[in-house]
Amino acid sequence: MRVPVGGPREVAELAAELNRMIETGERRDEDLRRFRAAMDISGDAILLIDRATLRYVDVNQTFCEMLGYTRQEILGKTPMDVFSADRATLERDYDALIADKHSSANVVEGEYRRKDGTQVPVEARRRAVHTEHGWIIVATATDITQRKRAEEYLRQSEERFRRTFEIAGSGVAHIGLDRRFLRVNRRLCEILGYSEAELLALTGRDISHPDDRDVINAQRPRLYSGELSAVRVEKRYMRKDGSSVWVAFTMTVERDSKGQALYEIAIFDDISSRKEAEAALRAAHDELERSNAELEQFAYVASHDLQEPLRMVASYTQLLGRRYADRLEGDAKEFMAFIVDGAARMKQLIEDLLAYSRVGTRGKEFQIVKLDAVVERARINLRAALEDSGGAITHDALPVVEGDELQLTQLLQNLAGNALKFRGEAKPLIHVSCIEREHEFEITVRDNGIGIEAQYFERIFMVFQRLHDKGQYPGTGIGLAICKKVVDRHHGRIWVESTPGQGSAFKFTLPKHRDRLAA
Ligand code: ADP
């Protein structure tokens, strides 16, 4: 006879053999003692049930401990009292075991109710054994609390993962090393316009835009070698309906504990609307540049070509005035004066327009410019106006910038000139200061003039926009438009802050170009 080792099959076989031995009178008490010992050292519960009465006829120590009953208490009970199955089910199972000892009822899961009312999940293995007293069901029961707990933990974590995967606002996919989609979420199906089943039969390459097929492939070796932890690219995919979709694609590789690649995890974000907006912006920008250039050219040609006939009008009217002045009557002289005045104003307008159009077409290449020197130059150019008004221009230490010196002089001169022109009762005082920011200088030209109402802060920078008639203050309304154009060309911004009656502060920015300035 083999030594019993506690497994259910061995125990059952032992019981069967014991049965036979007892029947033939071969062995007696000694074997029973061995059988008992084997039962009691088993870590699994072992129990014998009489099929006819359904009573426990013998149980081991482990079973008693598992349920919290004494042996005596158990022996008075039936499986229906402590196991989670009703009599009919148990009887059916037991009869199946009797009919065929390898039947499916051999292994079952269920719960025992302990004496204290708590439950213990078990896996039970059973076999029927025939004895001279009838059929006995031999069973072992293993406590599977730990296994159940681990299974529940795994189930919950898989559920959490599945839900996260499903509700993600981005498309998510697991991609096999053969590039086939292994798992895809609902959002990815929406982005690509395929059903889940359809996607699972495809590779990323199958649905990539023909021009973007190798965008990811180019990076894969560095990702697999571990040089990159993730790859991020923007590329196009072809949707099922034939349209294309722009996607921001991020991919990383999932590896096993030895570092072997298992599959790729990829995130897809639909960026079509951003790409469309970018393209529209680019197109609008190109169109604006083109029409601006055209307009500039037109203004230049028009103002240039208008000068000649205007000169004719002006000079022949003057000639007429000189030669025939004594023959003209009162009204005619006055009309003549209007024509001369109109021609002079038109000349001024044309010259200003020409100057305006030249900011774009005749600009010089940018050089290093000392703004201190620019203010000095503007002061010299405005000497007459300064003397007439008794005004003064002062300035703080000003930076060195990169730009077109002539145009920057024109800018400062126009701003200072306006400050002298639109002066109040007091002597005009103009001060130029500068604040240094991280990427730019902000320059302020402050005056103590008549000021501007807030509603006109933007309008005054437009061509021919003036707030006063020419009788009050001379001008054509082009000076600030030129200032704006110069600042635009230098990639800065210009604006005004002012309180009527208290003066104005015209401010503009000039970007810094550290690297080139240092060189
Ligand atoms: P212009 O000087 O020929 O009128 P600008 O384009 O230089 O044209 O200025 C537009 C308008 O902005 C001016 O007519 C004036 O009303 C207002 N303005 C400009 N500079 C000042 C200033 N320093 N103070 C008050 N108003 C100003």
HEC assignment per residue over 117-183: CCEEEEEEEEEEEEECCEEEEEEEEEECHHHHHHHHHHHHHHHHHHHHHHHCCCEEEEECCCCEEEE
Q: Whose CA is nearest to atom 14 of ligand 1?
A: 466
- Report whether residue 419 contacts ligand 1, using a CB cutoff of 6 Å: yes
297 CA from centroid of ligand 1 (Å) = 26
Rounded (10°) CA dihedral 215, 218, 224, 225: -150
Q: Whose CA is nearest to atom 16 of ligand 1?
A: 467
- Mean residue pLDDT of the chain comes to 87
Nearest Cα to Cα of residue 356 among 496, 504, 489:
489
At residue 290, the pLDDT reads 86
Q: Quick check: 161 pLDDT over 60? A: yes
Q: What does the DSSP 8-state code read for residue 307?
A: H
At residue 29, the pLDDT reads 66
Mutate to test the pocket of ligand 1, among 445, 456, 464, 480 (most ligand atoms within 8 A of CB): 480
484 CA from centroid of ligand 1 (Å) = 13
Mean pLDDT of 432-459: 94
474 CA from centroid of ligand 1 (Å) = 10
Q: Tell me the pTM.
A: 0.52
Read off the pLDDT band of 3 (50, 70, 90): very low
140 CA from centroid of ligand 1 (Å) = 103
| Cβ neighbours of 227 (radius 10 Å) | 9
- Report whether residue 452 contacts ligand 1, using a CB cutoff of 6 Å: yes
Q: Quick check: 269 pLDDT over 60? A: yes
Q: Quick check: 430 pLDDT over 70? A: yes
For residue range 460-503, list pLDDT tens digits in order: 998 878 887 777 788 888 899 999 999 999 999 999 999 999 99
| Exposed / middle / buried, residue 325 (Cβ in 10 Å: 0-12, 13-18, 19+) | exposed
For residue range 359-373, list pLDDT tens digits in order: 877 778 899 999 999
Cα–Cα distance measured from residue 107 to residue 123, given in angstroms and rounded to the nearest whole number: 7
* Alpha helices (H) along 272-329: 272-324
Mean pLDDT of 269-277: 93
348 CA from centroid of ligand 1 (Å) = 16
Q: Quick check: 7 pLDDT over 50? A: no
Ligand 1: atom nearest CA of 461 is 6
232 CA from centroid of ligand 1 (Å) = 52
Nearest Cα to Cα of residue 450 among 423, 415, 418, 429:
423
Q: Quick check: 16 pLDDT over 60? A: no
Mutate to test the pocket of ligand 1, among 460, 473, 478 (most ligand atoms within 8 A of CB): 460
For residue range 187-204, list pLDDT tens digits in order: 999 999 999 999 999 999
Q: Whose CA is nearest to atom 19 of ligand 1?
A: 418
- Report whether residue 479 contacts ligand 1, using a CB cutoff of 6 Å: yes
At residue 249, the pLDDT reads 94
453 CA from centroid of ligand 1 (Å) = 12
Helix (H) / strand (E) containing 510: strand 503-511
For residue range 480-492, list pLDDT tens digits in order: 999 999 999 999 9
- Report whether residue 422 contacts ligand 1, using a CB cutoff of 6 Å: yes
Rounded (10°) CA dihedral 413, 419, 422, 426: -140
- Report whether residue 171 contacts ligand 1, using a CB cutoff of 6 Å: no
Which tokens sit at 9? 């099959």
| Cβ neighbours of 472 (radius 10 Å) | 10
Mean pLDDT of 129-153: 90
The residues, any chain, with a CB within 8 Å of residue 413's CB and separated by 6 or more, are: 377, 378, 381, 382
Mutate to test the pocket of ligand 1, among 429, 466, 485, 507 (most ligand atoms within 8 A of CB): 466
Q: Whose CA is nearest to atom 4 of ligand 1?
A: 477
Q: Quick check: 516 pLDDT over 60? A: no
Angle between helices 405-421 and 479-489 (to 10 degrees): 150
Mean pLDDT of 109-119: 94
Ligand 1: atom nearest CA of 477 is 8
Q: Quick check: 514 pLDDT over 60? A: no
Read off the pLDDT band of 88 (50, 70, 90): very high
At residue 351, the pLDDT reads 84
At residue 18, the pLDDT reads 58
- Higher-pLDDT residue of 228 and 325 is 228
Q: Quick check: 338 pLDDT over 70? A: yes
418 CA from centroid of ligand 1 (Å) = 6
Q: Quick check: 295 pLDDT over 90? A: no
Which tokens sit at 342? 């109109």
Read off the pLDDT band of 5 (50, 70, 90): very low
- Are 375 and 411 in contact by the 8 Å Cβ rule? The answer is no
